[in-house]
Amino acid sequence: MEKYYFTYEDIHRTARDIAERVVSSGFEPDVIVAIGSGGFIPARILRTFLGKPILAVGIAYYDADDKPSELPRKVQWVEEAEKKLAGKRILLVDEVDDSRTTLEYCVRELLRHRPAEIAVAVLHDKRKEKRGAIPPEVKRYIAGRTIEDRWVCYPWDALDIDGHVAAAAASSDAGGGEGR
């Protein structure tokens, strides 16, 4: 099955599109919350266009004994001392909405801080049956692109970045690279 290959420049343009849609939707975030580690790079690019600080949260699907687990576990969360999310508008960012379980978990945990609003932004939403659900408190869900349920090769995972760029170009020529 064909994979998606996105270059950093593709990702940058998708993040810019998302930022424009966030702004035009009337949502002005106070803070960007990046879900690590996949959300770090899109969040950092969104920061350029939205000008807001980033808080990072880390989620893992293994337990304290390094055994795989079904449920997410907090590796890092918002600091006790900085739990100033009450009344704030949060833009929660991840790279891909796959099964949706991570997003649901993070939204639910953030809602406990009683923010004014949470919006969700992902670079890519996979068209598939989701195991998680975005809680109804979330009024804005922005996916840069909706893609098919295929493997996604992100540039930051490339061991050979030149090979990755070449694969993205070949894939784009074949109509698959940009995921449109």
Q: Which residues are catalytic?
A: 98
**13 lies in the binding site for its own copies (CB under 8 A):** yes
Query: Is the separation of the CB atoms in 10 and 156 below 8 Å?
Result: no
- Using CB under 8 A, pick the residue from 16, 21, 89, 150 that binds its own copies: 16
Q: How far apart are CA 33 and CA 161, in angstroms?
A: 27
Q: How far apart are CA 66 and CA 109, in angstroms?
A: 23
Residue 59 to residues 34, 54, 124, 149: CA-CA distances in angstroms?
11, 16, 19, 22
Could you tell me how many residues of this chain bind its own copies (CB under 8 A)? 40
Binding mask 39-78 for its own copies (x = CB under 8 A): -xx-xxx-xxx---xxxx-x-x-------------xxxxx
Binding site for its own copies (CB under 8 A): 7-9, 12-13, 16, 34, 36-37, 40-41, 43-45, 47-49, 53-56, 58, 60, 74-82, 155-159, 161-162, 165
